[in-house]
Structure 1
Amino acid sequence: MLRQNLQQKLLQKLSPQQIQFIKLLQVPTVSLDTRIKEELEENPALEDLSLTNMSEPEEQYPDRDPDEDYSGNEESNEYDEFNIDDYLQEENVNDYGSRYDQNGDDEEERKEMPIAIQSSFFENLQAQLDLLPMNDKDFRIGQQIIGSLDDDGYLRRPIMSLTDDLAFSQNVMAEDEEVEEMLKVIQGFDPPGVGARTLQECLLIQLRRKDVNDPIIKKAILVVEHYLEEFTRKHYDKLEKSLNMNSVELRGVINEILKLNPKPGDSNEVNTKQQQVIPDFHITNNDGTLILTLNAKNAPELRVSRSYQEMFEHYDKASQRDKKMKEAVQFVKQKLDSAKWFIDAIKQRQQTLLKTMNAIMQYQYEFFLTGDERNLRPMILKDIADRILMDISTVSRVANSKYVQTEFGTFLLKSFFSEAIQTESGEEVSNKEVKKILEDCIGGEDKRHPLADEKLTEILKERGYNIARRTVAKYREQMNIPVARLRKEL
């Protein structure tokens, strides 16, 4: 049975302006310029003063008085030449609102940034293969092997699978022995170690390309070939007994092995995805007084287009309005409102960034004066949110993607937040202070007898930090420090 009910609900929804502000707030400075350019491309009613100031000023045209009130026939003639349909067709609008001729683009405006060309790891191997004299069958086998390598330079596919691929995809009937022989040719390419199937084979390839008559190289080959597990586990006492070497000889062998590259494919590869870090804030020390400034890129000079404002006023006051006229007014109004919202969101972003960073700076004032991590106070998101009277999520968006440049380096804001640990005296300190002590203890330890987690726990307790051993192990792992056995050196 169908029924109609009248219900009244209280819902909380974000407005489009709030959503736009939230998205802009979490954008770092390095990406803000791209975001602004996207908005300029989509909205011709938005202008960048840094771009418009590059054009010729109006004062260079003496025939035109900027203070003159245009009216009468001049005004009507100016707008009679304007075609509404052109502005309704957004596909004719270029990056900054100008229109190009349909037959071609302006060469000066369409310049592209040059891109540096660098041969990749696989192109380098293919170039070396092209230089070798060989028949067509061996060449295609070599190509198949190169194409089957991983990004780190290893061949992790069985020879039998390569033989099947050659038969089914390239109609090349090859024996496993032929593929094996061609693999040995590839393993002679640069960088050394490429084409290896295991870490052991990779290290052996590199060692055998050195002076094999050198006693240290001979012993290094012996270690990698027969005692690799003991080497990786740093059981140096077993190696000394098995190879009948003293600690000095073993140290020379270990240093030779450590010079080798376990991932030869990464040696020539350029990480193009690495993002450049541009600080959002700058903190300077002026005779004991900290001064906070915002990166200038966070404050672009944007304004609403005057021509669009005049256009809207003219058509809004028009006495006759047909369907096209209403569409034009609606289109221009939408673009003007969007431009105003975007400018307001950018300004609100600047204010929120400064307000949040200033609260963090005041909270961690001693650290920014000295740069000593032991002066970092325990601080959570709620501490800053309560100070600036904003939501915790707003502080989180600022802290997760923004950087501050100081006299002691550039830091992610998130790194200043830490949990509190209570000492025996009842004082609350940051866990970063404990991590710094652990780092100093491990850095100054005797590498022949590194400190175990139990010993580190005892040292911290002697200094007044009552922390469990599992907590010490957790902090050590967070700092990417291996266990004591793997830190052992000769």
Structure 2
Amino acid sequence: MLKQFLNLKLSQKLSPQQIQLMKLIQLPTQAFEQRLKEEMNENPALEGGDEDEYENDELEFEDDDYDDNDENERIEAEDINIDEYLSDDETPDYKTQVNNYSEEDERDSPLAASWSFHQDLINQLNTFILNDNERQIAEFLVGSIDDMGYIRRSIPDIVDDMAFTQAIYTDEAAVEKILHIIHQLEPSGVGARDLQECLLLQLKHKTPTESVDLATDIIENQFDAFTKKHYDKLLQKYDCTNELLKKAVHEIEKLNPKPGGSFAGNSKITENVVPDFTIRIVDGELELSLNGRNAPSLHVSKDYQEMMQTYKDSRDKSNSQKDAVQFIKQKLDSAKWFIDAIRQRQETLYVTMNAIMHYQEDYFLEGDETMLRPMILKDIADLVGLDISTVSRVANSKYVETPYGTKLIKEFFSEAMKNDQGEDVSTLEIKKILQNIIEAEDKKKPLPDDQLAELLKEKGYPIARRTIAKYREQLDIPVARMRKKM
């Protein structure tokens, strides 16, 4: 049965310009610069560089300007001089600029060549005398080594994989033999199947001494007791002096648990942090500045504006001309929207960070993390009159340079807890005090979580033991037993 009824509802739809602004706000400086280059490359109506402010006159078009039935305005496409409507220089200037050398000093840029981790291992195999079958097995084993230097698979699985994927038929004994050759490669410890084997391989590469021999025996036969730091059991087991055991443990601590990560030719990209804001103290007052790379000088191409004006003033308008001017108008609108979005982005970033700076003024003046106030996204959103999601976009993945180092903005946000005086204190303050207590403890008898809770309670922070454990894990601090040192 069909029914007809009215349904009222409220809905919010974001315009393309609003969506573009939200995407720009969440970008850090480096990503924003890349986005800017992409936009300038795609839109020839958008130009960079300093230029006087221009009058932004909207060009109105009447419906009859696009009347396709006006036969008097029809002109063949080949009669149109496209050069009058398209810019002669559609390549942005930044793509043709070279800052490395002078004009007279043109040269090819040298490229840095480096071996990959696995290629270096293959090169080392050339120093061993292997027949064709053994070399195939060795290269397969090298290919099975992960970036940390381990072979995470069992010998039977490797034998099966070589048979099914490479048509290399062999047995476990032959693979074990080649694996011993892999274990002789550098860096020492490469090709190990677990941490225990990795440490043993490295110890066997060392010059034998009393402490190295003891360390080897400990890893080979008392690995579980060592990982749990049961030093009393080790002293009783080996009936050695405390000093000798301390030297043996020190030998083990010097080993590399990830031999592949130490490879000199490892070409992993190191991410550079570019601060989006800078806070300085000038005459006892805080001064905030936005990274200049977030405020580029952009303007709409005057050539494109003149094309639009020329078309508006002309009396003869062909269909081909209308298509061309539609393209021009689209690019002009897109350029104006993008420039407006960047201006709004700059204002939003500055206003939000300025509110954060003044909210945490005590910290930025003194640099003491215990002076950080409890602060959530809603606190800043209410101050600046923006949505919580907008403040979150500003705080996420952005950094501020302070007199005390470069900080991630979202680290200034924290929940509140009550101290014994009933006052709200930041969880960051409690974590900092907890960290200081652990750093000052006796490493021979580290404090368990229940004792840490008692110490914090004495300082005026009544916190449960499970909360201490949570904060300790967030600070990446191990349990008391694992913090024990000889």
| TM-score normalised to structure 1 length | 0.86
| Paired letter, 1:231 | F
2:281 maps to: 285
Of the structure 1 ranges 343-352 and 268-277, higher mean CA displacement relative to structure 2 is found in 268-277
Distance 1:337 1:320 in 2: 24
Aligned mate of 1:312, from 298, 308, 321: 308
2:146 maps to: 150
**How has the CA–CA distance of structure 1 residues 345 and 324 changed in structure 2, closer, same or farther, with 3 Å as cutoff?**
same
Is 1:259 the counterpart of 2:262 in the alignment?
A: no
User: C-alpha deviations, 1:50-84, integer Å up to 9, x for none?
Assistant: 7x99xxxxxxxxxxxxxxxxxxxxxxxxx975447
Of the structure 1 ranges 242-251 and 188-197, higher mean CA displacement relative to structure 2 is found in 242-251
| Paired letter, 1:120 | S
| Paired letter, 1:409 | G
Distance 1:427 1:469 in 2: 21
Q: For 1:464, what is the secondary structure of its paired residue?
A: coil
Distance 1:99 1:364 in 2: 42
1:376–1:430 contact (8 Å) kept in structure 2: yes
Is 1:16 the counterpart of 2:12 in the alignment?
A: no
Aligned mate of 1:412, from 408, 412, 433: 408
Distance 2:292 2:19 in 1: 24
1:162 maps to: 158
Aligned mate of 2:377, from 377, 381, 390: 381
Measured after TM superposition, the shift of residue 14 of structure 1 is 0.5
2:375–2:414 contact (8 Å) kept in structure 1: yes
1:280–1:298 contact (8 Å) kept in structure 2: yes
- How does 1:47-446 map onto structure 2 within 5 Å? 47-49=47-49, 81-83=81-83, 95-96=91-92, 116-212=112-208, 214-268=209-263, 270=266, 272-446=268-442
2:116–2:267 contact (8 Å) kept in structure 1: no
**How has the CA–CA distance of structure 1 residues 480 and 388 changed in structure 2, closer, same or farther, with 3 Å as cutoff?**
same
Which structure's relative contact order is higher, taking Cα pairs within 8 Å and 6+ residues apart? 2
Measured after TM superposition, the shift of residue 2 of structure 1 is 7.0
User: C-alpha deviations, 1:4-62, integer Å up to 9, x for none?
Assistant: 87866543100111000000000000211100000011111001117x99xxxxxxxxx
1:40–1:95 contact (8 Å) kept in structure 2: no
1:34 maps to: 34
**How has the CA–CA distance of structure 1 residues 463 and 6 changed in structure 2, closer, same or farther, with 3 Å as cutoff?**
closer
| Paired letter, 1:323 | N
**How has the CA–CA distance of structure 1 residues 469 and 166 changed in structure 2, closer, same or farther, with 3 Å as cutoff?**
closer
User: C-alpha deviations, 1:215-262, integer Å up to 9, x for none?
Assistant: 111100100000000000111111110111232111111110011111
Distance 2:151 2:27 in 1: 40
Distance 2:388 2:308 in 1: 41
1:30–1:276 contact (8 Å) kept in structure 2: no
Distance 2:6 2:427 in 1: 55
Distance 1:156 1:317 in 2: 74
What residue ranges of structure 2 are gaps of 5+ in the alignment?
53-78, 97-103
Distance 1:99 1:182 in 2: 52
1:187–1:196 contact (8 Å) kept in structure 2: yes
Distance 1:4 1:320 in 2: 53
1:471 maps to: 467
2:58 maps to: none
Distance 2:116 2:255 in 1: 21
**How has the CA–CA distance of structure 1 residues 360 and 98 changed in structure 2, closer, same or farther, with 3 Å as cutoff?**
closer
Distance 1:271 1:472 in 2: 40
Distance 1:115 1:359 in 2: 46
2:75 maps to: none
2:485 maps to: 489
Distance 1:43 1:132 in 2: 58
Distance 1:408 1:99 in 2: 37
Distance 1:255 1:99 in 2: 55
1:63 maps to: none
Measured after TM superposition, the shift of residue 115 of structure 1 is 5.3
1:41–1:97 contact (8 Å) kept in structure 2: no
2:65 maps to: none
Distance 1:6 1:98 in 2: 57
Distance 1:114 1:80 in 2: 47
Measured after TM superposition, the shift of residue 119 of structure 1 is 1.7
**How has the CA–CA distance of structure 1 residues 359 and 279 changed in structure 2, closer, same or farther, with 3 Å as cutoff?**
same
| Paired letter, 1:359 | A
| Paired letter, 2:126 | D
**How has the CA–CA distance of structure 1 residues 301 and 99 changed in structure 2, closer, same or farther, with 3 Å as cutoff?**
closer
What residue ranges of structure 1 are gaps of 5+ in the alignment?
54-78, 101-107
Identity of matched residues, %? 51
Distance 1:259 1:81 in 2: 75
Measured after TM superposition, the shift of residue 436 of structure 1 is 1.1
2:80–2:320 contact (8 Å) kept in structure 1: no
Q: For 1:167, what is the secondary structure of its paired residue?
A: helix
2:85–2:325 contact (8 Å) kept in structure 1: no
Equivalenced residue count is 450
1:159–1:179 contact (8 Å) kept in structure 2: yes
1:316–1:329 contact (8 Å) kept in structure 2: no
Distance 1:175 1:474 in 2: 49
Q: For 2:396, what is the secondary structure of its paired residue?
A: helix
Q: For 2:442, what is the secondary structure of its paired residue?
A: coil
